[in-house]
């Protein structure tokens, strides 16, 4: 029973790391990457819809993306959604598709993006530590209710701390990799 409880918290920490990795993927480094569009929702017939569900996205060259909606009436709403997003790119509309050209990042913009990803990583670490705290509270309650022994509690504390440290280390590695990618010219 104790192992199942531990597994739940381990999965939650893994999901936190995955969430930060997804946040990092949405931050563009000098190359065009369809992941930057993941968070943009388009008002499609009155309901917010991800771009990937209503259009084909391709990258004809390293600095551009082409968005081809399956329904050409959606071109205008996709264009509007991209303009209203924090992407900072103005799409070129040819009536049937949209082209996004990604300019070379300036040094200033790179530093802003590094600050942004550091914030994401820190939020991920906070989430991991909150999961550890919740787990500790749960195990302490179990010990109080005599469901587990004091030795079990001590072992769980050690295991949780080790898991927390490993998760934070993974987040640091992801951050270092993304930072290097952003600062590469």
pLDDT tens-digit readout, 137-150: 998 998 888 888 88
Percent of the chain with pLDDT strictly greater than 90: 29
Compute the average pLDDT of residues 128-144. 91
Most confidently predicted of 13-27, 76-90, 108-122, 160-174: 160-174
Say which CATH class 2-25+106-183 falls into. Answer: mainly alpha
Predicted local confidence at residue 173, as pLDDT: 94
Would the CA dihedral through 24, 27, 33, 39 be positive or negative? Answer: positive
Would the CA dihedral through 50, 51, 56, 58 be positive or negative? Answer: negative
Compute the average pLDDT of residues 148-158. 89
pTM of the model: 0.71
Mean pLDDT of the chain: 86
Phi, psi of 4 (to 5 degrees): -65, -40
The neighbour count for residue 76, using CB atoms within 10 Å, is: 14
Report domain extents, the chain: 2-25+106-183, 31-101
Q: Which residues contact 156 (CB under 8 A, 6 or more apart)?
A: 2, 6, 135, 139, 148
CATH number among 3.30.1360.40, 3.40.50.1820, 1.10.357.10, 3.40.1550.20, domain 31-101: 3.30.1360.40
Q: Is the pLDDT score of 103 beyond 80?
A: no
Phi, psi of 147 (to 5 degrees): -85, -30
Higher pLDDT: 81 or 102? It is 81
Q: Is the pLDDT score of 127 beyond 90?
A: yes
Confidence at 185, pLDDT banded by 50, 70, 90 = low
Predicted local confidence at residue 29, as pLDDT: 64
Domains 2-25+106-183 and 31-101 share a fold: no
Q: What is the pLDDT of residues 14-40, one digit of tens each?
A: 999 999 988 887 776 666 777 778 888
């Amino acid at each position: 029973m104790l192992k199942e409880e531990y597994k739940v918290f381990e999965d939650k920490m893994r999901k936190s790391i995955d969430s930060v990795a997804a946040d990092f993927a949405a931050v563009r480094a000098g190359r065009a990457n369809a992941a930057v569009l993941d968070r943009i929702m388009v008002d499609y017939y009155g309901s917010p819809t991800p771009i990937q569900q209503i259009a084909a996205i391709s990258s004809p060259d390293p600095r551009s993306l082409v968005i081809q909606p399956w329904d050409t009436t959606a071109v205008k709403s996709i264009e509007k959604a991209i303009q209203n997003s924090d992407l900072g790119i103005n799409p070129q509309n040819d009536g049937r598709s949209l082209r996004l050209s990604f300019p070379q990042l300036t040094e200033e913009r790179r530093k802003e993006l590094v600050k942004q990803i550091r914030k994401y990583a820190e939020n991920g670490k906070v989430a991991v530590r909150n999961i550890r705290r919740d787990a500790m509270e749960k195990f302490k309650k179990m010990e109080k209710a005599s469901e587990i022994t004091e030795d079990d509690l001590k072992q769980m504390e050690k295991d949780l701390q080790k898991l927390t440290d490993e998760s934070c280390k993974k987040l640091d590695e992801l951050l270092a990799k993304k930072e290097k990618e952003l600062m590469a010219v």
